[in-house]
Homo-oligomer: A and B are copies of this chain.
């Protein structure tokens, strides 16, 4: 432990002075400030350093270091004369429900899909197993770069079971969510999906496609979606720009 703590049963009457390394304090401030920015606390300009210092009970130097962290992430811009401004808008994507991107972002703007590939291919064993088909069986592969408000937000690689895939690709993939198309062509509601989420650094080619610097942090999802009858039909690998997407959801305490 870095600092003495007060007796556990009583609160101190005065704030305990913070004596942690400035970089630790700066991270602490940056974490809270980041979410204030997401929550829209600052329509455009952030308060002056001195005001933020008072708000967080830290020095101006600590505020400066916290702002440097958020600037490096591309979240804010700073200029000597113009102050500190919010540089990037982040969008919330639900973790609770199974919802397509267009449906999710309908309040934010139009989702447009640049369809980079549509093809039949022989399913590698791992893909075949997840979709419940024979290894080497023909499945539909779709690659889409997805734009929200004319900025790329995610690159989605999709494998579809052959019967569903054949019908899905008869429809426009530029303007429809694949989820909506699957429900339309199958006559079934989607049931559920298993999701694996990771943070990865963008390889140079993916970075160029998503228009971010190589090495940028991406939120990466593998998602296997089933029809209401439990049959898996849609396996997706989704790279989301870390500076554009926040996944949000609610957790419940499981029974002991």
A residues near B (Cβ < 8 Å) are: 1-3, 5-6, 8-12, 15-16, 18, 20, 23-24, 26-33, 35-36, 38-39, 41, 55-57, 69, 72-73, 90, 92, 95-99, 115-122, 124-127, 136, 138, 141, 143, 157, 162, 166-167, 169-170, 189-201, 203, 205-206, 215-220, 222-223, 228, 237, 240, 242, 245-254, 256
What are the residues of chain B within 8 A of A206 when measuring CB–CB? 27
Q: A31-B222, A32-B127, A124-B56 are in contact. Are A201 and B72 (CB under 8 A)?
A: yes
B196 pairs with A247, CB closer than 8 A:
yes
Bound-state CA distance A156–B179 (Å) is 36
The answer on a CB contact under 8 Å between A242 and B254 is: no
20 more A-B residue pairs beyond the given contacts A2-B117, A26-B205, A217-B242, with a C-beta to C-beta distance below 8 A: A1-B117, A1-B118, A5-B118, A9-B170, A12-B138, A15-B121, A16-B121, A23-B205, A32-B126, A39-B126, A69-B203, A72-B201, A73-B201, A192-B252, A194-B249, A195-B251, A197-B247, A198-B245, A200-B217, A219-B219
How often does this chain occur in the complex, in copies? 2
- A241 nearest in chain B by CB position: B199
Tell me the interface secondary structure of chain A in the complex: mixed
Give Cα distance in the complex from A113 to B23, angstroms: 20
Nearest CB on B from A52, distance (A): 9
User: A242: which of B9, B12, B199 is its contact (CB, 8 Å)?
Assistant: B199
**Would A251 and B95 count as touching, CB distance under 8 A?**
yes
The 8 closest A-B pairs by CB, nearest first: A8-B170, A199-B242, A199-B199, A97-B254, A31-B237, A23-B205, A199-B217, A217-B217
A164 CB, nearest partner CB in chain B, Å: 11
Task: Report the Cα distance A125→B32, complex, angstroms.
Answer: 10
Q: How far is the CA of A143 from the CA of B96 in the complex (A)?
A: 29
In the assembled complex, the Cα of A33 lies from the Cα of B244 at a distance in Å of: 26
Is the Cβ of A192 less than 8 Å from the Cβ of B251?
A: yes
